Amino acid sequence: WRVVELKEDKLILLKASSFIPIYLESVLLSLGEDTRVIHRVRVGFSSIGLEKIFDWFIRRFILTSKRIESIKRHAIEEFTNLENIL
């Protein structure tokens, strides 16, 4: 992963090192003394003309609903562990 965009105390956008464009966006929202973390995973092309075919293929065979749920659980677990470490 490499950082693509960083907005002061609010957003971190990472891009995976792969042929398929995969982005992980983490948004940090301040809620008084607490912080809410929202993760968004974006996968797919947006400007090569055949993006609908590639995106369908990715969703059908690579990022199935089971895998997406696994990614969500992993993100929650990582931030829970980070809170315990800190």
pLDDT class for 83, splitting at 50, 70, 90?
low
Q: What is the mean pLDDT of residues 38-45?
A: 79
In whole angstroms, what is the distance from residue 42 CA to residue 15 CA?
9
Report pTM. 0.61
In whole angstroms, what is the distance from residue 10 CA to residue 35 CA?
10
Exposure b/e, 14-32, CB count within 10 A at least 16 = b = eeeeeeebbbbeeeeeeee
Q: Are 72 and 66 in contact (CB under 8 A)?
A: no
Q: What is the mean pLDDT of residues 25-34?
A: 85
